[in-house]
Amino acid sequence: MIQKDFLPNQYSDLPAEGKVTWKAPSNIALVKYWGKRENQIPANPSISFTLDACATTTSVTFSKKENDSGFSFDLFLDGKPKADFKPKIQTFFERVSDYVPFITSYHFKIETSNSFPHSSGIASSASGMAALSLCLMDIERQLDATMEQGFFNKKASFLARLGSGSACRSIEGCLIQWGMHSDIPESSDLFGIKYPFKVDSVFKNFHDTILLVHKGAKQVSSSVGHNLMHDHPYAENRFRQAHQNLDKLKVVFTEGDLEGFIEIVESEALTLHAMMMTSNPYFILMKPDTLEIINKIWDFRKRTQVPICFTLDAGANVHVLYPEAVKEQAIQFIQNELVAHCENGHYICDRIGKGARKLVQNIQ
């Protein structure tokens, strides 16, 4: 599919008002997206586990406006007006308005809340943009009853990508791939797809315990970080490596090769941070406790042979990944040795999830 396939036909009658509510999960990348071109086109393909517990719930109440000019919306986080989120939504509306042109016909009340604590260092942009995109798609589906589910999901992912790249991987579960890759049929830079190859059952109920090492705001935002890949001395090699890692993962997933999985996932996490450290200007998002945790995981794995590993996103928090079969040992290890490195001992137990879902209004 190409961009213009997401332009809608003429709408018939626009409903005067309504309300839709969606809950969308966060996701954790195994092969990382870091670097982008114009219009949120990724510089390399990526793949992620969809999460379950970390999620954003968004309600959009819409009412017809007098005139069709400009965007009109109010935004509430946990019931309180949130003026500082408005520019991001304004930019999102500008980017998506050709694809969902009804948005200029309505005034929107956007009410959003996250399942995870506000300042936990967990980015809400992926789940937030996914939930909002699904709400818009739900309204569009009311205008076009013939819309198929496959198209609904693809276009929701397409819109979410325009809000925040990784958000396009937060529509469906459990393993989502985004970005053109020559050996992955149907892969696209425009939206995420369900991973199309065989995945051994060991990878189908993975856990992700998120250790909250540093809850404050990041010193460098993802968008600044992505941009620094433009003149980065190692960019081309890094982008090539992401393609190769997706090829390697294909075998790993088919064979249920946990050792191979760990090698790729940990290398991807450290490469992401190596790119940050070798950007111009350079920066470091890991904290001393991030490194302590990594070393303890390596030591524990060596001692016990328990297949537990880590990944990182663009921050200091550590995602500890492990299969269901070793859950008890992993949790014990985390509590005994790793929690001490978390800010106020805080961590979140999450696991692979099935993707976003619509909520019946007012029942959340």
Interface residues with ligand PMV (CB under 6 A) are 29, 32-34, 46, 123, 125, 164-166, 222, 226, 272, 313-314
Q: What is the DSSP code string of 11-25?
A: --PPPSEEEEEEEEE
Q: Pick between residue 169 and residue 341 the one whose CB is nearest to ligand PMV.
A: 169
Q: Give the C-alpha distances (Å, rounded to integers) separating 9 from 29, 98, 147, 171, 193.
A: 35, 11, 11, 23, 24
Which lies closer to ligand PMV via its Cβ, residue 250 or residue 273?
A: 273
Dist. CA 234–CA 43, nearest whole Å: 13
* Least distance CB 323 / ligand PMV (angstroms): 21
Cβ 96 to ligand PMV shortest distance, Å = 16
**Beta-carbon contacts of residue 277 (< 8 Å; ≥ 6 apart):** 283, 284
Provide the minimum distance between the beta carbon of 225 and ligand PMV in the complex, in angstroms, as a whole number. Answer: 7
Q: Which two tokens stand for residue 40?
A: 């949120």
Q: Residue 270 or residue 326: which is nearer to ligand PMV going by CB? A: 270
Report how far residue 322's alpha carbon sits from residue 262's, in angstroms, rounded to the nearest whole number: 10
Q: Which is nearer to ligand PMV, 223 or 335 (CB)?
A: 223
For residue 335, what are the β-bridge partners? none
Q: How many whole angstroms separate alpha carbon 61 and alpha carbon 132?
A: 11
Q: Under DSSP, is residue 295 helix (H, G, I), strand (E, B) or coil? A: helix
**In the complex, least distance from residue 171 CB atom to ligand PMV, rounded to whole angstroms:** 14
Cβ-based neighbours of 13, under 8 Å, separated by 6 or more:
143
Which is closer to ligand PMV, CB of 61 or CB of 245?
Answer: 245
7 to 97, 109, 155, 351: CA distances (angstroms): 10, 24, 10, 35
Question: Closer CB to ligand PMV, residue 136 or residue 272?
Answer: 272
User: At its nearest, how many Å lie between ligand PMV and the CB of residue 224?
Assistant: 10
Q: Closest CB to ligand PMV among 136 and 167? A: 167
Amino acid identity, position 262: I
Distance in Å, CB of 234 to ligand PMV, minimum: 16
- The HSE-up count of residue 109 (CA atoms within 13 Å, CB side) is 9
Alpha helices in the chain (DSSP H): 86-96, 125-143, 149-163, 222-227, 235-255, 258-277, 288-304, 327-333
Other beta carbons within 10 angstroms of residue 293's beta carbon come to 27
What single-letter DSSP state applies at residue 336? I
Q: How far is the CB of 163 from ligand PMV (least distance, A)?
A: 9
Smallest separation (angstroms) from ligand PMV to the CB of 261: 17
Q: State the minimum distance, in angstroms, from the CB of residue 95 to ligand PMV.
A: 13
Q: Which is nearer to ligand PMV, 156 or 272 (CB)?
A: 272
CB 196 within 8 A of CB 184: yes
| C-beta closer to ligand PMV: residue 59 or 127 | 127
Torsion sign over Cα 348, 352, 353, 356: positive
Instruction: Provide, rounded to whole angstroms, the least separation between the CB of residue 125 and ligand PMV.
Output: 5
**Residue appearing with tokens 């050709």:** 98
Nearer to ligand PMV, 139 or 229 (CB): 229
